[in-house]
Amino acid sequence: MSTIAHHVPDATLACYAAGNLPHAFAVVVASHVSLCIQCRAALEAHQHVGGALLEAADAVAVSADLKSAVLSRLDEPFMPEPVYERSGIYPGPVMEALKGRAPNWKSIGMGVRQDILWSGKEGSVRLLFIPPSQAVPDHSHNGLEMTLVLQGSFRDQTGGFGVGDIEIASQDMEHAPVAGKGEPCICLAATDAPLRFRALFPRLLQPLFRI
């Protein structure tokens, strides 16, 4: 029986199924779906509905430059699929982002480490390593932050999150996540804008660590 308590919102799953979710968030959603039977079933339902709508839709004429427009987008990040095989604690989509390698951890202070898996104009997605009982500096958001727990746990003002749980923090949310006791908390986190730190020191280091 699954112990996952915090799932991807249905509207976000529908956006992912339609291919409209920004790449960084799509990696997190694909990773969660690969761990969560409930969200996997919901995603498949959205995909079936989308397929039925396409089959029922009338043909529409397209512009002459459609081919050029499509070809120009071939270098853009592709929508990751929820690969169901895992390597240790890392779901298939994370291993694809890692290109099969181990995480290249870099210290960002207080024992916290990160590995930026992808960064672009739409945002970034990274792995975070947080030592047991360590707090992440108090921060709010300039955009959306989506966090998936891969190992351990963390707790903030909204409750507790364990392996497979996903937290979505919007612009109006301020929190200071604290890793649980025991093993380190390893998370997959995506943002579409820089965080807003309350304390001066994290703000000074923010450009260096690209958070």
Tell me what pLDDT residue 29 has: 97
Reply yes or no on whether the pLDDT at 190 is more than 50.
Answer: yes
The structure tokens listed for 46 are 């959205």
- For residue 205, name the pLDDT band (cuts at 50, 70, 90): confident
Tell me what pLDDT residue 199 has: 80
Tell me what pLDDT residue 120 has: 92
The model carries a pTM of 0.83
Tell me what pLDDT residue 211 has: 80
Q: Per-residue pLDDT tens for 135-155?
A: 998 989 999 999 999 999 999
Q: What is the mean pLDDT of residues 50-73?
A: 55
To which CATH superfamily is domain 10-95 assigned? Anti-sigma factor, zinc-finger domain (1.10.10.1320)
| Helix 10-17 × helix 37-56 angle, to 10° | 50
The span from the CA of 65 to the CA of 106, in Å, is: 45
Helix (H, G, I), strand (E, B) or coil at 184: coil
User: Is residue 63 within 8 Å of 53, Cβ to Cβ?
Assistant: no
Q: Per-residue pLDDT tens for 23-50?
A: 999 999 999 999 999 999 999 999 876 4
Q: Any idea where the domains of the chain sit in the sequence?
A: 10-95, 100-209
The span from the CA of 171 to the CA of 139, in Å, is: 10
Q: Please state which CATH class domain 100-209 belongs to.
A: mainly beta
Reply yes or no on whether the pLDDT at 98 is more than 50.
Answer: yes
